[in-house]
Structure 1
């Protein structure tokens, strides 16, 4: 049984599918933590547009509404955590620090060339998290 499931979310369709799979896997005793990272790349222009860091986080949280509403409607024990930094590193470090049992993350579906050039958050997490990782397409 997975006691602590870390669900990496970003507001995408794959992220919503990951939320649906997390609920399927979770038991009633499981704690699902929705975890989202505001990437530090480009944060200056985002922050200028938002006005303050609090406004930036509020705008970012709005993007996660569908995942949050889905989890809220289908699982009683959850919370949302938003952090700043490089997504892959933040997710895997948090998973390791909190000793989560499972990371559930949606894949972007990059082809091999795109993944080589841009990198993949899900690949990074799979390689660096000390727990099982479920990649959702």
Structure 2
């Protein structure tokens, strides 16, 4: 089974569904590591208005509280990791360098044109992570 599950969240409805699936897949011995990426743009602009990067991280974590609280209340082994930079690259690189067995990530369900224009974090992760990836709609 999966010993290390990396749950990528962003505060969306699909992200919450991914949290539910990660808990459902995990065994009692599994570590569910929640990862979320603060976009690079937020780092360069927000600290000017908000004070410090630590405050930015804390406010961002508030946005993720529903998923974090759900996993905390339904699974005994949880770790939270916040990274800074482009989400797809940060999540897949983290998975590749930390012995992750499975990445669980919500997907927005973009159509082909939207995906070409905007890109897709879940598509990027599924193509670049060296482990299994579960895309949750």
TM-score (norm 2): 0.97
- Asked if 1:61 is matched to 2:86, the reply is no
- Asked if 1:84 is matched to 2:84, the reply is yes
Partner of 1:100, secondary structure, is coil
8 Å contact kept, 2:43–2:53: no
> In structure 1, how many angstroms separate the alpha carbons of the residues matched to 2:111 and 2:6?
26
> In structure 2, how many angstroms separate the alpha carbons of the residues matched to 1:50 and 1:110?
32
Partner of 2:135, secondary structure, is strand
List per-residue Cα deviations over 1:40-63 (Å, max 9, x = no partner). 034322222221100000000001
Structure 2 spans left out of the alignment, 5+ residues? none
5 Å-filtered alignment, 1:100-111, equals: 100-111=100-111
Partner of 1:41, secondary structure, is helix
The 10-residue stretch of structure 1 (7-16 or 47-56) with the greater mean CA deviation from structure 2: 47-56
> In structure 2, how many angstroms separate the alpha carbons of the residues matched to 1:94 and 1:80?
13
5 Å-filtered alignment, 1:1-137, equals: 1-137=1-137
Partner of 2:29, secondary structure, is coil
Partner of 1:58, secondary structure, is helix
Residue 109 (structure 1) shift: 1.6
Structure 1 spans left out of the alignment, 5+ residues? none
List per-residue Cα deviations over 1:69-98 (Å, max 9, x = no partner). 000110010011001011100000000000
Residue 100 (structure 1) shift: 0.2
> In structure 1, how many angstroms separate the alpha carbons of the residues matched to 2:40 and 2:19?
24
Q: CA-atom RMSD, angstroms?
A: 0.8
Partner of 2:37, secondary structure, is strand
